Structure 1
Amino acid sequence: MTILSRNYVLAAAGLAILALAILFGMDRPPICECGNVKLWHGAVQSAENSQHLSDWYTFSHIIHGFLFYGLGYWLFRKKPEAARLGLSLCLAVFIEGFWEILENSPIIINRYREATFAFGYAGDSIINSMADIGWMTLGFFAARRMPVMGTVIVAVIFELLALYAIRDNLTLNVLMLTFPIEAVKKWQGAV
């Protein structure tokens, strides 16, 4: 079993801290404006969505980790195993941190409001964004341990579970942000 070098761990942590600093600089709320920090908040159409440590979209962030592990494995396939793992982790934390910053920018917040059923979406709290980076990292290391087919099966189960529970998932989220379909928006809003 390859062990991550301390330098890669520090680099990945530094990237997460940089995302944290940028989110603070963007004046994102540190925690839910309700004043609580919950381990789980399951109501999607609520002011507390994307404000706590986990929610239905946590499954998407774990899948991000699966995908980023695969991307890093492919991009750095010619590197020695320790370097491939470390570089892949840093790339994964960078991409997830970049997404958390972009997702909380006015352009994406407004896009969610107009193109998806997230009508009152106001962005994530900082604790939710940092937890999302953590969940992605969990998915990254889970993908490292699981066989490829196991990772695919877990991802499909997560997608189907979220689809059943909230009529949304990573696939629909990407679709609706990039190529919104009015029929899908109406179906999602009928919860």
Structure 2
Amino acid sequence: MTSHEFASVSALTGRVKFVPRPAPVPVYVAVVLSILAAKALILYLMGNDVTCACGVKLWLNDATGPENSKQIADWYSLSHLIAGMLFAAVMWWTSRRWPLGWMIVAAAAFSMGWEVIENTPWIIGHFGQSEIGANYSGDTIVNSLSDSVFVLVGFVAALRLPLFVVLALGLAAEAAVTFAINDGLILSTLRFVGGLF
């Protein structure tokens, strides 16, 4: 392998961009699992429950009750799917020469950061001020890990499927969440930004 496989020059800035060396698949799997385990430990140390005291469900349809973000999947899982697609666009724009495995690792790290911030008292309190988030008290660890899986699925799908399919899936998912629970990635972002001012 030659050095040009591990560095590229940006046409816009002329700077050399870092491109990690490819690694065996078990390395990627181990790093992703380590990131997910670290996230679970951080959330546990932050006081998040592993599962809901009400039991474990595969799907929760109610976005406003006390089980919100406590079960394996819910309407917000689709928002995490879309977030993975959007992060894929960022990685394609900034790091498209990276091996797919390291891009997936980056997506796992992105998801970890998002989930940890999302479960801080400030964010929980901020969303708790809205009517739809009045009962939100943070994610269970099971829900958070599931959210990361949805991010990774959306991420890989966005890199592998044709652009028109990705756009159609993303728009359909956002429309489904918006119409089902009057929320979604766009509305949550607008409410969050609006609540800051």
TM-score normalized with structure 2 length: 0.83
Which of 103, 112, 137 is the equivalent residue of 2:118?
103
Q: Take 1:97 and 1:111, find their aligned partners in 2: how far apart are those partners?
A: 20
Contact kept, 8 Å, 2:63 with 2:132, in 1: the verdict is no
Distance 1:7 1:150, change over 3 A: same
Give 1 or 2: higher helix fraction: 1
Partner of 2:185: 170
Larger Rg: 2
Write the deviation string for residues 79-100 of structure 1: whole angstroms up to 9, x where unpaired: 4xxx2x1222111111111111
Which of these residues, 109, 121, 140, is aligned with residue 136 of structure 2?
121
What TM-score, normalized to structure 1? 0.85
Partners of 2:49 and 2:68 in 1: CA distance = 13
1:97 and 1:125 mapped to 2: Cα distance? Answer: 14
Unaligned runs of 5+ in 1: 182-191
Following TM superposition, the consecutive aligned residue runs of length 4 or more in structure 1 with deviations greater than 3 angstroms are none
Structure 2: distance between partners of 1:33 and 1:120: 15
Other-structure match for 1:19: 39
Provide structure 2 residue ranges, at least 5 long, that are not aligned to the other structure. 1-21
Following the alignment from structure 2 to structure 1, what is the Cα–Cα distance between the partners of residues 29 and 83? 19
SS of 2:139's equivalent in the other structure is coil
Aligned to 2:11: none
Deviation, structure 1 residue 64? 1.3
Alpha-carbon distance in 2 for matches of 1:116, 1:8? 41
Which residue is equivalent to 2:163?
148
> Which range moved further: 110-119 or 131-140?
110-119
Deviations 1:121-169 (A, max 9, x none): 1111110001100111111122222111110111001111111111111
C-alpha separation in 2, matches of 1:126 and 1:62: 18
Letter in 2 for 1:76: S
Q: Contact 1:37–1:52 at 8 Å: present in 2 too?
A: yes
Structure 2 residue aligned with 1:77: 96
